[in-house]
Structure 1
Amino acid sequence: MLRLSAQMCKQSFALLRLPHSTNKMPRLQLVTRKMTQQHQKVDWTTSIPTGAKDKEKITALGWFLLLIPATTFGLGVWQVKRKIWKEQLIKDLAEQLHMAPTELPDDLSHLSHMEYRLVKLRGRFLHDKEMLMGPRSLIRPDGVETQGGLFSQRDTGNGFLVVTPFQLSDRDDIVLVNRGWISRKHMDKETRAMGQSPKEVELTAVVRKGESRPQFTPDHKEGKVYLYRDLPKMCASSGAAAVFLDAVYDPKAVADNSPVGGQTRVTLRNDHMSYLVTWFSLSAATSFLWYRQIVKRIPF
């Protein structure tokens, strides 16, 4: 267009320079004819590409990439449902810990379906087969857990759980009872002789299950200290049935330096909030990238 305009201007100036005489008219007609021919040869095309509409269409690959934000959003919704389910389960277990205790069933195998249920039992402790499990921090009667760990030396927060075989009255069965928490300085049973009564007692306990060996935790060998509820080896060394009970806190039964009961921990992890935040964040980020790259076609 600019070139054509320039040519027309040049030819116009040339016309102005022509002498105004009648005998020069043929030359003027010739210049006019050339301008008309050049004007007819111009191809007036637009600057819009003919395939622009085709480029605006989302390809099959673009629709396939939409699966990424859609999938992460679905996983986030699933984690919301899992969070609601886990919170309800924890609530139900907490309610079971406050229900009225039931009698210990005659068939001990029924206890496998009664975890966190309160049961009553009567018998006597076999203190000569006592075992320790830990280290563990102390759960106080008000429910607050003290700070203690494997390398902590504070007696007020770090110690062990005393697990003692319990001979049931009027039957030959022996079960394992977690009597409660003791500090490190009372690991030796001689330092808490007042709590080693051989008399028959009646107590209330919480039904628990055994634990699998945690990752990186060494396997238990022969000894009296266990890192977790290793029921097969605990029962093999004590002759007890595969039943583990946590004694509840009883202020009347606590003598000087005796184990502190009520050490039941509801060990249910609830990390679903962090999971759902992660999935929804990924969904939002990938949705933005898909819209920017596939729909708007804005390069980075």
Structure 2
Amino acid sequence: MVLGVFVALGVWQVQRKAWKEALIARVDARVHAAPVALPPDAKLGPEVEYLRVGVSGVYDGAATALVRAATERGTGYWTMTPLRLDGGRLVWINRGFVPAGTTAAQAGATAPEGTVSVVGLLRLPEPGGSILQSNQPQADRWYSRDVAALAQKRGLGPVTPAFVDAQQEQAAQPSASALKPVPGLTQVRFPNSHLSYALTWFSMAALSLVALVFVWRRA
């Protein structure tokens, strides 16, 4: 019984290793690819996450929200601003990192006027909050990029069920604000320890087998 459990866990980790390696290869290929159009809402799922897309529209800077972030630059916030695309579709853009102490109004003032073109990585929503803290919409405190809840809080109506982590932003009328969100900080490195986990479980299985043989011989 115990031997079978250890073997099953080892096999599962081998399968997870294959899945993780496929994910890493897919993401690595996508983050350096030429940008493509934003897929329709109906096709937004795990199979298109980290797809490099290009979108164009007008920011609603006044609707900007801040989401807690911990990055290589320290703790602060992601600057989430909705972008109204040329066809009327609304999509949230993570314009980048701003330091702790920044207000939503200050971050919103950094949004350019007029038409803006954004290239970035397509990401799926993060409903509810982080592992440690739940979002608090009533207090406008956000710990995850829950696009539906953000849109509801801002009274925006239907939004694309995904967001874009900006890598590049081009605007004819850049903001005069001295504050500039830092884009391009998407985490695209994934830990892959499944081989060591698999070896651990298989070792446990081998030790269990040795113990069973020892008990049987003693008997």
TM-score bracket, normalised by the shorter chain, equals 0.7 to 0.9
- Counterpart in the other structure of 2:181: 259
Q: RMSD of the alignment, in Å?
A: 2.9
- 1:250 positional shift: 5.6
Task: Note the residue ranges of structure 1 that are not aligned, 5 or more in a row.
Answer: 1-66, 139-145, 147-155
- For residue 166 of structure 1, the aligned residue among 83, 96, 102 is 83
CA separation of 1:184 and 1:130: change in aligned 2, threshold 3 A: same
- 1:269 positional shift: 5.9
CA deviations 1:136-190 (Å, max 9, x no partner) are 123xxxxxxx2xxxxxxxxx51110000011112x22211111000011333544
- Counterpart in the other structure of 1:209: 124
CA separation of 1:285 and 1:177: change in aligned 2, threshold 3 A: same
- Give 1:207's aligned amino acid: L
Q: Does 2:42 align with 1:126?
A: no
Q: Give the Cα–Cα distance (whole angstroms) in 2 for the partners of residues 182 and 98 of structure 1.
A: 25
- Counterpart in the other structure of 2:42: 109
- For residue 151 of structure 2, the aligned residue among 214, 232, 235 is 235
Q: Does 2:33 align with 1:99?
A: yes
- Give 2:89's aligned amino acid: D
- Counterpart in the other structure of 1:197: 112
Higher relative contact order (CA 8 A, sep 6+): 2
Q: Give the Cα–Cα distance (whole angstroms) in 2 for the partners of residues 178 and 228 of structure 1.
A: 12
SS of the aligned residue for 2:92 comes to strand
SS of the aligned residue for 2:101 comes to helix
- 1:249 positional shift: 4.5
- Judge which range, 84-93 or 202-211, deviates more: 84-93
Higher normalized helix content (fraction of residues): 1
Higher normalized strand content (fraction of residues): 2
- Counterpart in the other structure of 1:226: 142
- 1:191 positional shift: 7.6
* Corresponding residue pairs, total: 211
Q: Does 2:101 align with 1:185?
A: yes
Q: Does 2:70 align with 1:137?
A: yes
Conservation of the 8 A alpha-carbon contact between 1:249 and 1:260: no
- Give 1:236's aligned amino acid: Q
- Judge which range, 76-85 or 114-123, deviates more: 76-85
- 1:87 positional shift: 1.4
CA separation of 1:197 and 1:70: change in aligned 2, threshold 3 A: closer
Task: Note the residue ranges of structure 2 that are not aligned, 5 or more in a row.
Answer: none
SS of the aligned residue for 2:114 comes to coil
Q: Give the Cα–Cα distance (whole angstroms) in 2 for the partners of residues 181 and 167 of structure 1.
A: 21
Q: Does 2:163 align with 1:244?
A: yes
- Give 1:132's aligned amino acid: L
- Counterpart in the other structure of 1:90: 24
- Counterpart in the other structure of 2:215: 293
CA deviations 1:61-106 (Å, max 9, x no partner) are xxxxxx433442343133223212211222212211111111234x
Q: Give the Cα–Cα distance (whole angstroms) in 2 for the partners of residues 201 and 128 of structure 1.
A: 16
Q: Give the Cα–Cα distance (whole angstroms) in 2 for the partners of residues 137 and 189 of structure 1.
A: 21
**Identity over the aligned pairs, expressed in percent?**
27
CA separation of 1:251 and 1:262: change in aligned 2, threshold 3 A: farther
- 1:277 positional shift: 3.2
Conservation of the 8 A alpha-carbon contact between 2:118 and 2:170: no
For 1:68-79, list aligned pairs within 5 A. Answer: 68-79=2-13
